[in-house]
Structure 1
Amino acid sequence: MSDILILQEHWLYNFEKDEIEYFLENFICQVKCVDDTNPISPLQRPRGLSGTAVCYRREIANSVTEKPDGSMRINVIKVNLKPKPLLVIGVYMPCRGGADADNDYRETVDELSEIVLKYKSSCDIVIAGDMNASTARDKPNTRDKIFLDFIQEHCLYIPNGLYDVQNILSSNTPGLVNNFKVLQRHPLNTSQHDPVAGSINVELDTCDSMPVISTLPPRVKWDKVNKDKYEKLVANRLSEVNLEVTKASYSDISNITSEICAVLDTAARACGPTKTRKGRPRALRPWSPAINEACKHSEQKFWEWKCDGRPPNASSLTFCNMKDAKKKLRSTQRQHEALLRKSNYEKIMKAHEGDQQTFYRLIANQRKDGSTQTSCLKVDDELLTTPHGIRNGWAYYSQELATPHHNKTIYHNQVELDCLFLEDIFKSNHKSQINVSENLVKEVICQLKNGKAADSAGISKDLTSITKYHKQLLKQLQHLPDKATDSASYLLLGEPPIKAEIHKRIFTTFGNIVRNFDSIEHQLAWRQLATKSNSSNSWFIMVKTLLEMYDLPPCYDLLQNPPGKSTWKNLVKSTVNSFWEQKLKLEAKTKSSLKFIDIDRLSIGKTHLIWSSAGSDTFAITKASVKCRMLLGVYTLQANRHRFNQFEVDPSCPLCKQGPEDRTHFLVLCQHFTSVRQPFMEALKIVMREMLPDLHQQITSDPLLLTQVILDCSSSPFVQPQYYNRLECLSRGLCYALHIARSTALEYHYK
C-alpha cells in the first residue's frame, strides 16, 4: 500500500471521521468534513456529502506536518525532506449543477492559488484530487478554462499519458511525479472514478509506531532541595563508605567513585520534592498570565513553608505567607472565571436566531459527561428539591406557560392596547400596510415601462421608482407616515439614499477597471474618455461626471496611477457618505418640525439613540415608534390639524381646554394626563437630580427644556452620555403611556 493516500467524497460527518483510521490502522488521517463549520441537525443524520482526507503511514509521522490551510475541500500536509520539503495538497473541487456552482469553483481555485503562492518558494508542490474539469475537451466549458488558467498561471505540470483530468497529480517541478498510472477499478467499486497512483522517489526517516519510553531518572531540582538536610544526610552516608584505602587498584577507585556518586544522588532525591503519581486528568481550568504569576508565587511560598518544617501555627511567618499566596491564587482564578462566564453570557444574549454555531455549542455543553442537574426548583414560591417534585414542577410550569389566561387585568388590557396602537397606525398612514416580498418587488419593477433594457435578471430598473420605494420602506420600518421628512428618516437610521449606494458600486467597478491594465475595459475607458463629449450617454462619461460631483480624483489620474483596492473603497465610502450627509443635514435644518433634534449630531453609519437603545425587544420598538413620530412632528395633535385647516379646526386641547395642543402641551402641561405622567416624571427627576444636582430644578420646571430631554436627550447640552439609555427608556415609556391614554380618552370624548 502507498505511503500517502488522498481521498475525496468519503461522505462522513464530523462525528464519524474516526472510522477512516479504523479501516486504515497503520495510517494517521487528516480528515475534513462538510459539517466542520456548519453542524448538522442532531435529530437526524442526512445523506452523506463531500469530505476530503489525506492519510499517511505512522512510520513517516515524524517527517510529516499537518497544515491548517484551506477549507473543508482542501487538505494540506508538509513532508520534511532535504534539500527541499514536499507539500501535498488533496482537493475535491465543486461539481457541476446548481446556480452558484461556477462561483464555488472559482473560490476553491482561489484558495489553491493562495496556498501555492504561499509555499511555492520553499516547497515542491503536488496537487492531487478530483478536479471536476478536463484539459482534453474539444469545447472547454467555463470550469475547464478556469482550471487551465490556474495550471498556466502557476506553471504546473501534468503527468504524461493523462488526458481526462478527473483525478490528477500535478506539481511545480517537472519529473517529480513518475510511474503514474490509472488503476483498474475493483468489481465492488460502484464509484464513477478510477483510483490513480504515482510515485515520488525520496528518502524518509522512519520510526517505530510504539512510543519510546525513557528510563532515565528525572533531573534533580536543586533550587527546591533542602540544603541543610542534604548536608547532614551526605555526611552520615559517607561515614559508612570505606575511603581509607592504601593500595587500591583501578577497579577499586572506580567502585568507590560510583558509590560516592550514588550517595550524592540518593541524598539529593531524598531531600528534594517527591513526584506524586498522576491520577485521572482533571478538566483544564481557565489559565491566564495573572494566574500563572500567582501560581508561581504560591508554589514559592509553599516551598519556603515546607523547608521551615511545615509549622502549623499562625505565628509562623512562612505559614502566613503561604496562606496569603494561596488565597490570592484562588481569588485570581475566580475573577478570571467570572470574566469568562460573563463574556460567555454576553455572547449568548447577543447571538441572533440564525447563529447555529452558538446553538450547537450550548447543546454540546449540556451533553457533556459529568454535567450536574439542578437540585432545587422554585415554582410559585414553592421550593422543590426531590427529582420527582422537580419533574412535576417543570411540567406544571410548562403547562401554565402554554395555557392562555383570560385575566382581564393583564392579557385583555395588553390586547386592547395593541389594538389601539394598530388602529392609530392605520389612521395616521391613511392606507393599509402591505406585506412586501422579493417576488412582488420584482414583479412591480418588471411592469415599469421606461423603455430601458433589462438586466441579466430580466428587470428593467427605473431609478426614480426604486428611490421612492426605498424611502417608503425606511419609513415603514420606523412606522412613520408618508408625510414624514425624507432627510430625517434617512438620518435617524444612519442610512444613505439608494442613489448613494448605486454610485458607490459604480466607483468600485471603475476601480476594478483602472487596476486591470491589460483588460479590454481599460482600453475602452481611454478611448471613450478621449472621444466622447460631456453630453454623451457613455458610462465612462457618467463616471467622469460623478467623480467631479463628489470631488474625487479625475479619470485620467486614476487610469495612470490606480489606487489600491482597499484604499479606493475607503475613499469612495467616506466621500460619498460625507456628501450625502451634508446634503441631508442642510435639508433637515430647513424643517421647523425637527426643532427638537440636534441635526449636527446625526451622521450616516450611526443609528440615532431612539432606535439603538430599543434593541431587539418588540415592545420597546413599538414604544420607540410612537416617540419617533412625536420627535419628527408627525404625531397628529390639534395644533398639527389646525395648521392645515385653520378655519375648521380649533388648536385647543380637546381634553383640558387650557391651551393649544402641541408637543410641549401634550408631553408636559396637559392636566388631563397628570396621573399618567406622574410616575415617569418622578423617576425622571431622580435621574436629573443624580446627574445635575444644581440645575435639575431649572430643567424640570422649564417646559421647553423638559420637552427637549423627553424627545431627544442626546440633543440636550445638559445631559451626560452615560445617562442616555436610562433617560431614553423612561421617555419612551412616557410617550407610549400618554399615547395610549390619549387614544382611549378621545374615543370616549367623541362618543
Structure 2
Amino acid sequence: MSKPTILPTKSVGLQPTTPKSPKPPFYSTNHQTSYGEGETYSAYPKSADSPIDNPIETESTPSSVLSSLNLLTFNIEGFNSNKLYLETLSKRSDILLLQEHWLHSYEKHKLDEFLQDFICYTKCFDDNSLSDAYERRRGHAGVAICIHKKFEKFVELLPDGGNRIIGIKFNTTQPFIFLSTYLPCRGNANSIDNYQEILDELSEIYIKYSNAFRIVIGGDMNASIYRDSKQDKVFRDFIKENNLLIPPSCGKTFTFYHYNGRDTSQIDYFLESKSVISNYLTFIRESINTSTHDPILTTIPCNIQANEEINSLIENKRINWNKVDKTAYQEEIENKLSTWTDEINLNLTFDNIPDKINELCTIMAASASKCSRSKRSKCKRLKKKPWTPELENMAKINRDHFAKWKAAGRPTDKSNILFQNIQFYKKKLRSMQRQLEASLRINKYQKIMELHEGNDAGFYSLVRKQRNPANTTTTSLTFNDISLNNDNLIRDAWMDYFQDLASPMDSENFDKEHFSLVENDIKHLTKTFTENKIENISPVTEVEMKSILASMKNNKSADEENIAAEHLKYGGPIMITIMTFLINAIFKHLHIPTLLKGGIACPVLKNGKPKIDPNSYRKITITSTVGKVVEKAHLSQNKNSVIKNQNKLQKGFTSGEMPIIAALILTELIIQAIKTKSPLYVALMDARKAFDIVVASWPDERNAQVWFNGGQLVIL
C-alpha cells in the first residue's frame, strides 16, 4: 500500500506561561506503523513529573490562578460498564469530552451523580424521539462534556448541533469553544452520507464561532488521516476546508484496539482552529479500561482565576424537626412567653406590633435551635459509595493479568494464554459493572413496590432521586448585556430584574382617565373605612386559631426570620393565645406590618433553559410564616363570599378545582372555533415570563364592589 498524504500540522506549539518543567518520561509501544515516528505516552507509570498523574493545578495547590487547562477526550463505550476507569480519568483532567456513553435521555442524571465535582452536559441518542416506556432499547452513541465545578462561572452550553455534537463556550479573556463529537462509523451503504451530514453540522458551528472564539474539537472521528478509505478522505477534506490544525505531537499513535486483538488504528483526535495546545498525550492500554479506545489528554496554557470565592453571607441552619425535642421546645416557649399571656401585659399598639412579632420570631428561632439535636455536617459534599468487594477484586485480578501480559511484550496471538486471560477478565470486569448497575436499578424498583401506601416521605424521596439532580444554580448571570460572575453583583442584578418586572409600565394604550378615577375611588374608600372603623373584622377565637395553625403544612422552607410552620404548631397552648392576641390587634388597627409583607425571592430554573439568562427563571417567594396565619384568618371569615362571587371558570387557587380543567375548556373552544370558522382571541398571562404585573388598586375596586366591605377591604 502506498504511503498516504500526511496533512500539514502546526509547526510550533504555544508554550506555557509558567516556567518550563522537566519533560515527562515517554513510554514507547510496539504498536507503531511502519512509516511513522510517533510516540505513545503512558498514563499508567507513577512519575512525579508526569502532567497526567500530577496536573498543573491540584487541590493541594494554594493558588486559585491556573496556568493551564487539562482537556481529555475518551470514547467510553458505555458509562455503566466503564465507571471504574472514568473515576480515574476524572482525577486527571479539568474538562472531559465523552463519546458513546450509551445512556438514555432519562438516565442523563447518572453522570451528575457519579462525577460530583463536575457539571455535566449530556446529549443522548433518543433526545428527540418518543418511545414506549415498556420498550427498553439498548442505549448507543451519545456525547457529553463534563467541566470541573471550579470553572462553572466561565461555562455556557451551546445550543448548536444534533445528538452527536455537544459544545460549550469557555468565557475567558480569550474565549474558547470546546466541542465533543462522535462521528458515524463505517458499515452500511448510507454511512458516508451520514458521516458527511455530521461534518456539515461541525462546519456550520465552526463558521458561526471561528471569528470570535478559538475552537478545539475532540472526539471519536471514526476516520484516520493515515488511511485512504472514502470516509478518511472526507474527514481530511473537512480539516483542509476549515483550516483546522492537528497538533504535531499527535504523531501516528493508535487510539483504537479492536476486540480481536490484531486490528488497530488512530481514529480519535483533537483538532484546533489556532495553535493553542501545548501538550498532546495519548494513553496506552490500562488494565481497568474496558473500552476499545484510549483517552487523549491535552494541555492548553491560559491564566484562569478559579471559582473559589467564599460566600460571606451567614446561612441560617435549617431545623430538622424530626430531631427536635418537641416537649423541651414547648417548655422553653412557655418559660420565655409566660409574661405575654395577658393582653394587657402585651400592651399592643399600632406602633409596637411589628416589634412584638419580631421579638416572638427571635424567641421561637432560638428555642428551636437550642432543642435541636442535629449537628452541622463537616462534609461539604456527599461521598461516593465504595465499590463492591467483588468488583474491587475483579479489578485487582485484571491489573495482575494485564501486568503479566505487558511484561511479556503485549502478545496479540489468540493462542497465547496471557492474551486470552486479559480478554476474558476484561470482559468479566465490564460485565460485572453492568450487573452492578442492573442490581441497583432492580433494588430501586423493589423499594418503590414495597413502599407503604401511607409513606409519603419515602415515596417522594424516591421521586426526587429519579429526577435530574444536576446543579440548577449559576455562578454567572447576563443582565443588561453585562456578564456578572460575583455573588453580590448577581444578587443586585436579581433585585433590579424583579424590581423592573414589578414596576407597572406606562403605555399609550392605557385609559388614563379611568385609571385616575379608580385611584381616587380606592383612596376615598380606604380613608372612609379607616377613619370611621366601618364594619371592623370580627376577632379570631383561640379555637379558630388552633385550627388555623393545625392546617399549616410541615416541612416547608423557613422564612427570612428563620420561622417555619412547626415553630408555631409545636409552641403549645401559650403560642395559640399569643398568636390570637397579635392577629386580633392587626385586625383591630386595620394595618398589616411591613415585616409580614416581605419574603425571600427564589429564582427557579425552568427545564432546559440557559442558566445565565434571568428570563429562564420563575420567581418563587417564601413569604412570612406569621403573615400566612394572618391570611388564613382573614380568608376563613370570607371563604363563603369568595366562592359565591368568583367566576365559575376560575380553576386555579380554588378548593376542589384543577387548573388543567381550564386547559380542557380552552381546547374545546379552539376546536369549536375551527369547526365554525369563527374568530377566537386568547389572551395568555405568564406565557413568556412567570410573573404578574397588575396595578394593585384595580382589583381593590372590584373587591369593594362585589366581595368585601369595610375593614375587610383595607386589610386585603
Q: What band does the TM-score fall into relative to the shorter chain? A: 0.3 to 0.5
Higher relative contact order (CA 8 A, sep 6+): 2
More helix by percentage: 1
More strand by percentage: 2
